[in-house]
Amino acid sequence: MTDNKQHVGEPDRSRVSSSEDYELRHFAKKHHISVQEARDLIAKHGNNLKALAAAAERLRRH
């Protein structure tokens, strides 16, 4: 299937997909949290990368 050029918008790299294991593992490793903690953050804060990074930083401080 080809990429639909009519669907334009924000780049995918600004989001973390909870359905992709490699994205969860990468995010968790980068922020020194567990994969389950990453899943929990996505469930609570959505999948916006900036919001998740801030939430992960707050989580690590506690």
Closest to 29 in 3D by CA, of 47, 13, 16: 16
CA dihedral of residues 53, 57, 59, 62 (deg, nearest 10): 180
The residue extents of the domains of the chain are 17-61
User: Confidence band (pLDDT; 50, 70, 90) for 9?
Assistant: low
Closest to 13 in 3D by CA, of 27, 31, 2, 1: 27
Model pLDDT for residues 25-57, shown as the tens digit of each residue: 999 999 999 999 999 999 999 999 999 999 999
CB burial of residue 31 (10 Å; 0-12, 13-18, 19+): middle
Q: What is the value of pTM for the model shown? A: 0.79
